[in-house]
Amino acid sequence: MTSHASTAADPVALCARPGADLPAAVHTVHRALVSDGRVGVDEGPTVARRLVRLAERYGNHPFTPLEEARRMLDVDRASFGRLLGLFGRVPELRHAVENGPAGKYWQNTLLPLERRGVFDAALAHKPAFPYVVGLYPGPSCMFRCHFCVRVTGARYDPSALESGNAMFASVIDEIPAGNPYAMYFSGGLEPLTNPGLGALSSRAAARGLRPTVYTNSFALTERTLDRQPGVWDLHAVRTSLYGLNDEEYEETTGKRAAFGRVRANLRRFQQLRSERESPIRLGLSYIVLPGRVHRLLDLVDFIADLNEAAPDRPVDFLNVREDYSGREDGRLFEAERAELQEGLLAFEEAVSRRTPTLNIDYGYALHSLKTGADAELLRIRPGTMRRSAHPQVSVQVDLLGDVYLYREAGFPDLTGADRYVAGRVGPGTSLTEVVERFVDDGRLIAPHAGDEYFMDGFDQVVAARLNQLEADVVAGWEDARGFLR
Ligand code: SF4
């Protein structure tokens, strides 16, 4: 059992999925445990059933504290400890968790951060250089998206650009070697409104970093690229789409004829990167609104059209997310779920026909939905926000050098966001020092109602994981904390 590789047909590897053949999975685990003598024949079926239930639990609900799992199985601590040990001896069970409906949490975030010991530093309240640093270089934004948390019209004074870009350069120089994805450009406001973005990108690339810029691409014109050739040194340009025609764009961003311009920019970008044989990647992100899943087919048309501009360099990736935010508890109605599932199938069929090389990331919730399960929805509230935040995991730095603890807090003049500034990077103060001071001084931030909106999806995952790990340690399960590592 421990030696043979999992196959798609392996009932154990699939046991966390809806509709899994649980008796077959239990039988297979039982046989394996008994055959290598770890478990007696009599207790075998019970132990195997419990192990499969653990895989099911953590493949669907990764943030379950161990004590809760123990109570679910109704076993004493000694038996539970033994079960945890046995679980680790059956790789197919681990595979089932990592590939279960909530597998994206494990694969994309939890396990990579575990491997680098990032959670350990946060749990121990030890300073560590943030695993990921977001630089928010944009002094302004040409759009006024109705959902954007930024105060309408808020911007940074252009006089902040020079010192701000020098400060960003110093932060880039501070980033430790070893993690090429340790830094990205985003906002806050629109990164391409900073005329120094290209120079910063080149500096980052020269240090072996592979930054992505998150942009609306309204300013991604040939002129910008001529003036800022360093933009070509980015690893990827990820464009947030706000619609698929001018009307939709205007409704969302308040800007007329914006879609046409973004499309023209992206088409030209496609041609230029093909001519230059630039390795830079081009991707899009798109949010599916409830009831509008059919628009995904128009999105395929849009991408196919961009691909025609450079048939040898098709668009590389697409991030699709859903927006449940209008729902009371974040859950979709049954009819919406069915519609979304059908829509995703039709979308995948169209993609495989027209844009077959497109790499699609569905994120946590849509990935679960595609497997037929209800997504584990994270609901971090002020009561479960961590007063010490998690600067060892990630921080965001704006043009003034302010170090924000959460990704949606880094907008100028955003009410209450200043409480989430850990300190300021500037001449004489490095990012390392800001984080060290924040952590060593034991600074705690008491959350106010609504502060959870300063956190994005990533921040929520990190907070949920740290809360879970802390609960495991407090309950005496330090060695097994977090279930998988
Ligand atoms: S969401 Fe982005 S593009 Fe829209 S107004 Fe806010 S910063 Fe600008």
**Inside any domain, residue 435:** yes
Report the alpha-carbon distance of residue 246 to residue 263 in Å, rounded: 10
| Dist. CA 264 → ligand 1 center (Å) | 20
Q: Does the C-beta of 143 come closer than 6 Å to ligand 1? A: yes
Say how many C-beta atoms besides its own lie within 10 A of residue 88's C-beta.
14
Q: Choose one of 66, 100, 134: the last residue of a domain.
A: 100
State residue 6's pLDDT score. Answer: 41
| φ and ψ of 92, to 5 deg | -65, -30
Q: Identify the band that residue 162 occupies on the pLDDT scale cut at 50, 70 and 90.
A: very high
Q: Which residue reads 């990579």 in tokens?
A: 112
**Inside any domain, residue 187:** no
The alpha helices in 401-456, defined as continuous H runs, are: 431-440
**Inside any domain, residue 289:** no
Which helix (H) or strand (E) segment holds residue 317: the answer is strand 317-322
State residue 1's pLDDT score. Answer: 39
Q: Does the C-beta of 414 come closer than 6 Å to ligand 1? A: no
Q: 364 or 473: which carries more pLDDT confidence?
A: 473
Nearest-CA residue for ligand 1 atom 4 is 145
Cβ pair 127, 430 in contact under 8 A: no
Average pLDDT over residues 69-96: 96
Average pLDDT over residues 441-465: 95
Q: Does the C-beta of 145 come closer than 6 Å to ligand 1? A: yes
Report the alpha-carbon distance of residue 148 to residue 188 in Å, rounded: 10
> Per residue in 183-229, pLDDT tens?
999 998 999 999 999 999 999 999 999 999 999 999 999 999 999 99
Q: Answer yes or no: is pLDDT of 291 > 80.
A: no
Sheet strand arrangement including 402-404: 359-361, 317-322, 281-288, 236-240, 212-215, 183-185, 132-136, 394-398, 402-404, 421-424
Q: Angle at the Cα of 130 (from 127 to 132), degrees rounded to 5?
A: 165
**Residue 253 to residues 188, 395, 404, Cα–Cα distance (Å):** 15, 27, 25
The alpha helices in 207-278, defined as continuous H runs, are: 222-227, 246-253, 258-276
State residue 263's pLDDT score. Answer: 98
**Inside any domain, residue 442:** yes
> Per residue in 351-400, pLDDT tens?
999 999 999 999 888 888 888 887 667 889 999 999 999 999 999 999 99
One-letter amino acid for residue 428 of the chain? G
**Inside any domain, residue 94:** yes
Report the alpha-carbon distance of residue 117 to residue 287 in Å, rounded: 32
Q: Choose one of 80, 100, 120: the last residue of a domain.
A: 100
Report the alpha-carbon distance of residue 280 to residue 228 in Å, rounded: 15
| Residue from 242, 180, 182 nearest 215 by CA | 242
What ligand 1 atom has the least distance to the C-alpha of 138? 7
Tokens of 91: 């790789």
**Inside any domain, residue 225:** no
Q: Does the C-beta of 475 come closer than 6 Å to ligand 1? A: no
Burial 351-363 (b: 16+ CB within 10 A, else e): beeebeebeeebb
State residue 327's pLDDT score. Answer: 58
| Dist. CA 67 → ligand 1 center (Å) | 42
Q: Answer yes or no: is pLDDT of 40 > 90.
A: no
Q: Does the C-beta of 144 come closer than 6 Å to ligand 1? A: yes
Report the alpha-carbon distance of residue 331 to residue 333 in Å, rounded: 7
Q: Does the C-beta of 20 come closer than 6 Å to ligand 1? A: no
Q: Does the C-beta of 190 come closer than 6 Å to ligand 1? A: yes
Q: Choose one of 100, 124, 156: the last residue of a domain.
A: 100
| Dist. CA 433 → ligand 1 center (Å) | 31
State residue 372's pLDDT score. Answer: 80
Average pLDDT over residues 430-451: 97
> Per residue in 230-283, pLDDT tens?
999 999 999 999 999 999 999 999 999 999 999 999 999 999 999 999 999 999
Which helix (H) or strand (E) segment holds residue 77: the answer is helix 77-87
State residue 266's pLDDT score. Answer: 98
| Dist. CA 288 → ligand 1 center (Å) | 17
| Dist. CA 412 → ligand 1 center (Å) | 13
| Residue from 93, 72, 75, 84 nearest 30 by CA | 93
| Dist. CA 215 → ligand 1 center (Å) | 9
> In the Cβ-directed half-sphere of 29, how many Cα atoms lie within 13 Å?
35
Pocket test for ligand 1, best of 156, 213, 216 (most atoms within 8 A of CB): 216
Burial class of 275 by CB neighbour count within 10 A (0 to 12, 13 to 18, 19+): exposed
Domain count, the chain: 2
| Residues in the chain, overall count | 485
**Inside any domain, residue 391:** yes
| Dist. CA 250 → ligand 1 center (Å) | 13
State residue 4's pLDDT score. Answer: 40
Q: Answer yes or no: is pLDDT of 86 > 70.
A: yes
State residue 161's pLDDT score. Answer: 98
Report the alpha-carbon distance of residue 59 to residue 7 in Å, rounded: 17
> Per residue in 135-147, pLDDT tens?
999 999 999 998 8
| Residue from 233, 224, 203, 221 nearest 263 by CA | 221
Tokens of 71: 């109570």
Percent of the chain scored above 70 by pLDDT? 95
Which helix (H) or strand (E) segment holds residue 318: the answer is strand 317-322
Mean pLDDT of the chain, nearest integer: 93
E-strand stretches of 87-235: 132-136, 183-185, 212-215
Q: Identify the band that residue 82 occupies on the pLDDT scale cut at 50, 70 and 90.
A: very high
Say how many C-beta atoms besides its own lie within 10 A of residue 111's C-beta.
14
Segments forming the whole domain that contains residue 58: 1-100
Q: Answer yes or no: is pLDDT of 9 > 80.
A: no
Q: Is the dihedral of CA 116, 122, 126, 127 positive or negative?
A: positive
Which helix (H) or strand (E) segment holds residue 334: the answer is helix 334-354
Q: Does the C-beta of 216 come closer than 6 Å to ligand 1? A: yes
State residue 330's pLDDT score. Answer: 58
Task: Tell how strand 212-215 and strand 394-398 pair up.
Answer: unpaired
Q: Does the C-beta of 187 come closer than 6 Å to ligand 1? A: yes
What ligand 1 atom has the least distance to the C-alpha of 144? 5
State residue 340's pLDDT score. Answer: 87
**Inside any domain, residue 445:** yes
Q: Does the C-beta of 142 come closer than 6 Å to ligand 1? A: no
Average pLDDT over residues 156-160: 96
Report the alpha-carbon distance of residue 313 to residue 270 in Å, rounded: 7
> Per residue in 293-336, pLDDT tens?
899 999 999 999 999 999 999 999 999 998 766 555 656 677 88
Q: Does the C-beta of 141 come closer than 6 Å to ligand 1? A: yes
Report the alpha-carbon distance of residue 202 to residue 198 in Å, rounded: 6
State residue 324's pLDDT score. Answer: 62
| Residue from 333, 152, 136, 155 nearest 253 by CA | 152
